[in-house]
Amino acid sequence: MGKTSLITGATSGIGAAIASELLGRSDADDVIWLNYGHNDEAAEAFVREAPGEKRGQLRLLKADLSSYKEMCRMAEELKRNMEGLDRLVLNTGISLKEPFEEYDYEQWNRVLETNLSIPAFLVRELLPVMREGGSILFTGSYAGQQAYSSSVVYGVSKAGVHFLAKSLVKVLEPKKIRVNAIAPGFIQTPWHESRTEESRQRIERKIALHRFGTPGEVAQMACAILENEYMNGSVTDIHGGYDYF
Ligand SMILES: NC(=O)c1ccc[n+]([C@@H]2O[C@H](COP(=O)([O-])OP(=O)(O)OC[C@H]3O[C@@H](n4cnc5c(N)ncnc54)[C@H](OP(=O)(O)O)[C@@H]3O)[C@@H](O)[C@H]2O)c1
């Protein structure tokens, strides 16, 4: 039987790279569901640009995962259309540009809901279709390992994601489902599009490898963790040696 995967936030950046890496490693009867929230054009382009012989294995699934209601609707649609799920990658995430002193309560909650609460409940909704021996991977962040005053609520939400991954290990033990998280540092994706050159250079000086990571480098590690049958309850950093001075 082929393996079925779902990746949220799968049509750009890290999610798209994980989707490409999984597709490259896939067998012909594997299926990969790609969730995205808004940009139909980017989603369709991603599928169009996939290798022709593998394109038919991809399924697009639009749902705004900042909304609990939309997440539930997506989970219902998936349950109707799949027999079982082997791999679940919870990758959607948002941040705020404002400093802590300027957030309002709604903004704080929106980040926590999108990054932590909705992914947690998506896992719960999909548990009935998760197959024994399945694998779950959360995209956390190095900002959830190390506290930064410039991204307070984001860091808090990602620290929560890391702890959620560990906390689910015993919950999912009966079905032998493994749960892990990755904690990337600065990765070159549209997320950093509006960053000034000065800000980029300041960050690069703090990275021992003096460059941002590529989505492909993160995806290789993500897929290795998804596939490795002894990885469970781990949060794995990937940041090129950030702040090791
Ligand atoms: N880039 C970094 O330096 C970095 C570092 C550490 C951790 N991360 C984490 O990595 C993850 C991906 O970041 P990225 O840099 O790859 O971002 P990105 O390039 O901006 O891609 C974001 C993806 O998520 C989708 N998305 C955004 N909002 C969504 C929503 N409400 N519902 C469903 N899908 C949504 C986007 O599709 P639509 O636009 O169509 O909605 C897109 O496919 C995030 O969790 C982020 O926190 C990133």
Give residues (CB < 6 A) around ligand 1. 9-15, 35-39, 42, 64-66, 91-93, 139, 141, 184, 186-187, 189-191
Determine the Cα–Cα distance for residues 37 and 31; give it in Å rounded to an integer.
Answer: 20
Query: Domains of the chain: which residue ranges?
Result: 4-238
CATH number of 4-238: 3.40.50.720
Q: Determine the residue of 14, 154, 186, 203 to mutate for testing ligand 1's pocket, defined as the one with the most ligand atoms within 8 A of the Cβ atom.
A: 14
The atom number, within ligand 1, closest to the CA of 64 reads: 32
Residue 180 · residue 233 · CB < 8 Å: yes
Determine which residue's CA is closest to atom 47 belonging to ligand 1: 93
Report the predicted TM-score, pTM, of the whole model to 2 decimal places.
0.98
How does pLDDT run across 102-120, given as a tens digit for each residue?
999 999 999 999 999 999 9
Give the Å distances, CA to CA, from 58 to 20, 121, 240: 10, 24, 31
Residue 243 pLDDT: 83
Inter-axis angle of helices 215-227 and 13-24, nearest 10? 50
The atom number, within ligand 1, closest to the CA of 184 reads: 6
Residue 245 pLDDT: 66
Q: Determine the residue of 18, 38, 61 to mutate for testing ligand 1's pocket, defined as the one with the most ligand atoms within 8 A of the Cβ atom.
A: 38
Strand order in the sheet with 85-90: 58-62, 31-36, 4-7, 85-90, 130-139, 178-184, 235-238
Ranges of residues in the chain whose predicted pLDDT is under 50: none
Inter-axis angle of helices 105-112 and 152-171, nearest 10? 40
In this structure, are strands 58-62 and 178-184 parallel, antiparallel, or unpaired? unpaired
Residue 244 pLDDT: 80
The atom number, within ligand 1, closest to the CA of 66 reads: 31
Q: Looking at the DSSP assignment, which residues form a beta bridge with residue 235?
A: 181
Determine which residue's CA is closest to atom 37 belonging to ligand 1: 36
Q: Determine the residue of 46, 191, 199 to mutate for testing ligand 1's pocket, defined as the one with the most ligand atoms within 8 A of the Cβ atom.
A: 191
Determine the Cα–Cα distance for residues 99 and 152; give it in Å rounded to an integer.
Answer: 8
